[in-house]
Structure 1
């Protein structure tokens, strides 16, 4: 058996150290800071690290795809599931079609730190159940870059999949 062929890669590994990269503060809302890691708009995948301050509640949202979420520090819950707080070390799988509202307890000692792999889009709704927007890989990538630019930050470093190409001409 021969070694399988592989996709040619960069000279170095594609890696991001989110502890060393700048974070976009108060994005997408006050008390939420994001570090983008990977965007693949063609396949609708976005990977982010987020830190959310105590006492923050985000809008209700509907997931069109699945989410893998790992809590690294702090505590949070979905308002629909207050009996199931997610704490440091918790892994949560969210199936497509789920609806929930993220919230951090006001008495958290510090920010809640999470790593997320998101497939598809979040369809966001206000407190009255009215449509706000659709957040998918393309939208989040565009908006986080606009927010960084508006804050006078250098261009953000993250990995981006460029999608389909011809293999030969």
Structure 2
């Protein structure tokens, strides 16, 4: 049996070492730092590594698609599920339609470090249930590049749709 035909890459793999890349600090909220890895607005997929400070509560949000989230370090939970804290080594699958609010305990002694693959969008709401915005891969890409540029950072290095590396800002 012959190997399947595939899209030929350049001479190098599409790889990002998030430990060597600049992180966008306090994005999209104070106390959350993000390193984009893959942003595909055409297919609605965004892959991020995020570090969240102790005591952070993010807005309630609704997922239009699935989420795969792996906790590397620290601890977090959804306010709706306090009995299920996610700790280092935890993998969480979220189906589309999930609604929840992310929080890190103020008792954490370290940043919570996570890797996530998100399909679709987050529809975000304030504490009273009022609509804030819709965050999808295109919105995240636009906003994270704007934040990096506004902070005087060099262009961010992440993989874009169709395997192209980004150097846009």
Please indicate the TM-score interval, normalised by the length of the shorter structure.
Answer: over 0.9
Give the count of matched residue pairs: 163
* Alpha-carbon distance in 1 for matches of 2:73, 2:159: 24
Residue of structure 2 in register with 1:3 after alignment:
3
What is aligned with 2:160? 160
Shift of 1:12: 0.2
CA offsets 1:51-90 (integer angstroms, 9 cap, x no match): 0000000000000000000000000000000000000000
Q: Once the 2 structures are TM-superposed, how far is the Cα of residue 162 of structure 1 from its aligned partner?
A: 3.7
Tell me the residue number matched to 2:166. none
Runs of 4+ in 1 over 2 A off after TM superposition: none
Provide the residue aligned with 1:17 in structure 2: 17
CA distance in 2, matches of 1:86, 1:4: 39
Q: Output the aligned Cα RMSD.
A: 0.9
SS at match of 1:117: strand
State the distance in 2 between where 1:123 and 1:100 align.
11
1:51-62 aligned at under 5 Å gives the runs 51-62=51-62
Partner of 1:63: 63
Give the SS at the match of 1:132: strand
Helix, strand or coil at the partner of 2:139: helix
Instruction: Give me the TM-score of the superposition, normalised by structure 2.
Output: 0.95
Structure 1, unaligned runs of 5 or more = 164-169
Structure possessing the higher radius of gyration over alpha carbons: 1
Shift of 1:99: 0.1
1:100 is matched with 100
CA distance in 2, matches of 1:3, 1:15: 23
Q: Where does the alignment leave 5 or more consecutive residues of structure 2 unmatched?
A: 164-169
Where does residue 148 of structure 1 map in the other structure? 148
Equivalence for 2:133? 133
Deviations along 1:137-165, whole A, 9 cap, x unmatched? 000000000000000000000000149xx
Separation (CA, whole Å) in 2 of partners of 1:125 and 1:2? 51
Question: TM-score if structure 1 supplies the norm length?
Answer: 0.95
Deviation at 1:135, TM superposition (A): 0.2
